[in-house]
Structure 1
Amino acid sequence: MTDTDGTPAGPGAALARVPVTGTSRRFDAAVRAYVRQHPRATVVALGEGLGTAFWRLDNGRLHWLTVEPPETAAVRRMLLPDGPRRRTLACPVTGSGWLDAVRAPERGVVVTVRGLLAFLRPPEVRALFAACAERFPGGALVFDTVPRWCVGRDPWRTAPAAPPLRWGLNAADLPKIASAHPNVVAVREVPPPGRGPLAGHLARWRQHVPLLHTPARTVTEIRFGARRAAAGPGPGDAAADPERPAGHRSR
């Protein structure tokens, strides 16, 4: 809920003022842009944990669906109880069960996936893109991931129990995402808000300098067009697959 000047009001006001990272700002910018066009849209946050983006982005009309595994969903409901336009669904984020829980998709749907895709296998990533493109024509999907050179290396990671990184994406791979489904009509990297084009060029350059820094996560937005029949797999699909096993630098 917001005041007339757009400032968050009510119990969520404090949560909305929690400092956010550069990656969060890019997610927020992409969602805000979509919601401006579709003010009654549903935002589906896959695996957001205890994320508080709802209170930063709420326009008083949108709906918010958080999808979490049962254990995490129970904790979120306890600490951030559901509201009239905000609810948590206990469902595997990598499955398809949550797709049917999206109400009134004709009003618009933007799916956010933060900190998750890098841990999925390439076919799982591709299946998620295709499912969203098929079910949410006119919608969008915003996700982050690491450069492809990070996959299988992880020299910066300090949590031995964390799962391995299985999927990465370079700037040169963005156009190939469109092959996931015919309904994918646009793919773009979301730039850091408030910065000029030079910042985006520098971020892309950093993708190709492994071991010199903590790898920057890129944020990408996919837009879906009108519903079209998905083409069946062809003999060239494997070569065109943007989620091919990673670990090689782009030329």
Structure 2
Amino acid sequence: MSERTNPEDKIDVDLGEVQETLLIPLYGRAKDAASRKSVLGDVKAREIVDSIDYDFAKFRGTSLSGSVLRSSIFDGWVREFLAENPTGTVVEIGCGLNTRFERLDNERMRWFDLDVPDTAKMWRRFFSEGDRRTLLPVSVFDTEWMDKVAETGGPWVFVAEAIFLYFPPDEVGAVLEKLCDRFPGSLLLIDSGNSSMRDGMDKNAAMKRVTARMKWTCEDPREIEDWGPKLLETRTFASPQPEVLRTWPFTYRHGMRVVGKLFPPMVNLYRMNKLRLPEK
């Protein structure tokens, strides 16, 4: 996997400040795929990284492996949803260049990838729509996209991984309240970070290389309930689902538990959350 080349056939990156952050987890998954004991086995991510003209090598540190572990936790929840609802609908909010569809497709589900136009344009270079997969090239805050999703009849799970952190809390709350109104009883998967995480972004080896910064902070995931959803589970890298933990290499499986016991504030900076939208 080349980290920096510039041949004429490479694809240029033309993304906004927030959208550029998608390249960090993409590179994390690509590096994971190249490792001897891969967590996700995301070969597609390696192919994409090799096709893009970008200095991925500037991204270093724990954010790369952390993005992989985070995706495995979200994957676990989506797998659980699809096991119970094999013909259900998955909505990937801020899909970026995520390959979750490729990782989890059961050949029966309905899938929506949603992202802003510049990212959607890049998405089309690597992925294709189909009978069960639809790209929605629109901002999550332009809530007319919900009309298209509602046509499937559900049940629905909405996945927002590393998206809402970068937007003001009033905008995040408005979208979540709208989801509660339009899709009662659905699942919402969302990550959250507290103010200490925000304040440390300039020291983060990967995040300091991009411009976007956190705008929404959440000291306790139960704060999300103020917007309507009910918190069902909250996970950290030290407390993934047991079935997900078993897929992690020894270093992560035991190392994160040790960190969690010795330095609880460190692992509690950032959380992955599973919520239920209220029934009407």
TM over 0.5: yes
How far the C-alpha of 1:29 sits from its partner, in A, is: 0.6
Contact 1:206–1:216 (CA under 8 A) maintained in structure 2 = no
AA aligned opposite 2:217: G
Correspondence for 2:240 among 184, 192, 197: 192
Distance 1:205-1:108 versus aligned 2 partners, 3 A rule = farther
1:112 match: 159
AA aligned opposite 2:232: V
The answer to whether 1:98 aligns with 2:152 is no
AA aligned opposite 2:265: H
Q: Secondary structure at the match of 2:265?
A: coil
How far the C-alpha of 1:207 sits from its partner, in A, is: 6.1
Contact 2:114–2:140 (CA under 8 A) maintained in structure 1 = yes
2:14 match: none
1:223 match: 276
Unaligned residue ranges in structure 1 (runs of 5+): 1-15, 228-251
The 2-side partners of 1:66 and 1:204 are apart by 37
Q: Secondary structure at the match of 1:125?
A: helix
1:74 match: 121
Give the 4+ runs in structure 1 shifted more than 4 A. 198-207
Structural mapping, 1:23-172, within 5 Å: 23-157=70-204, 159=208, 161-170=210-219
State the TM-score, normalizing by the size of structure 2: 0.64
Q: Secondary structure at the match of 2:87?
A: coil
Contact 1:117–1:167 (CA under 8 A) maintained in structure 2 = yes
State the TM-score, normalizing by the size of structure 1: 0.70
Contact 2:192–2:221 (CA under 8 A) maintained in structure 1 = no
AA aligned opposite 1:225: P
Distance 1:121-1:206 versus aligned 2 partners, 3 A rule = farther
RMSD: 2.9
1:18 match: 42
Residues 69-114 of structure 1, C-alpha deviation per residue, up to 9 Å, x if partnerless? Answer: 1121122123201111112111012331221120445321111111
How far the C-alpha of 1:204 sits from its partner, in A, is: 9.0
AA aligned opposite 1:69: V
How far the C-alpha of 1:208 sits from its partner, in A, is: 2.6
The 2-side partners of 1:18 and 1:179 are apart by 36
AA aligned opposite 1:164: R
